């Protein structure tokens, strides 16, 4: 069984995916996604909510950083699931600071393996690694 925080990340990722696809209010989407994983008993709901709030607040900065560190892959060329994983991981690396970069990257890579395309995990690894190194310099 995945940890409560991994399920929180997945629920947040699914919500970010949905927001990109349909520009919806993330609150009911997140609540539904958390419910799909068993609610409070299985998901760190507060963490998931903080991920969504943080990504929404810092979306432009995170997107810019991702685009800067993946110059051969324009934003629209990336599949929406990979973008969602990178937005969550980018937020955690740059702004959340409650998990070590290695943990953030590992979680994102594992989620990409499960939910992304065949190449998503490698791409997520490369971009988040570049973001983590850029963060160290700042």
Report the pLDDT value the prediction gives residue 23, as an integer from 0 to 100.
84
Taking the chain (138 residues) in runs of 10, the rounded mean pLDDT of each run is 92 96 92 94 96 97 95 90 97 93 96 92 95 81
Q: What span, in angstroms and rounded, lies between the C-alpha atoms of 76 and 74?
A: 6
Q: Which homologous superfamily does the CATH classification assign to the domain defined by 4-137?
A: NusB-like (1.10.940.10)
Reading phi first (left if > 0) and then psi (alpha if -120 to 50, else beta), residue 39 is in: left
Q: What span, in angstroms and rounded, lies between the C-alpha atoms of 128 and 134?
A: 10
Report the pLDDT value the prediction gives residue 12, as an integer from 0 to 100.
98
Report the pLDDT value the prediction gives residue 25, as an integer from 0 to 100.
92
Contacts of 135 (CB under 8 A, 6+ apart): 93, 94, 101
Report the pLDDT value the prediction gives residue 134, as an integer from 0 to 100.
85
Q: What span, in angstroms and rounded, lies between the C-alpha atoms of 56 and 132?
A: 20
């Amino acid at each position: 069984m995945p940890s409560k925080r991994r399920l929180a990340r997945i629920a947040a990722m699914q919500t970010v995916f949905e927001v990109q696809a349909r520009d919806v209010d993330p609150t009911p989407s997140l609540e539904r996604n958390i419910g799909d994983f068993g609610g409070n008993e299985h998901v760190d709901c507060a963490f998931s909510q903080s991920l969504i709030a943080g990504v929404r607040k810092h979306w432009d900065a995170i997107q810019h950083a991702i685009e800067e560190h993946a110059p051969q892959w324009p934003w629209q060329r990336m599949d929406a699931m990979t973008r969602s994983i990178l937005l969550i991981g980018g937020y955690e690396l740059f702004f959340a600071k409650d998990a070590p970069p290695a943990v953030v990257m590992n979680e994102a890579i594992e989620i990409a393996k499960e939910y992304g395309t065949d190449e998503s995990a490698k791409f997520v690894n490369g971009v988040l690694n570049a973001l983590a190194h850029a963060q160290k310099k700042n």
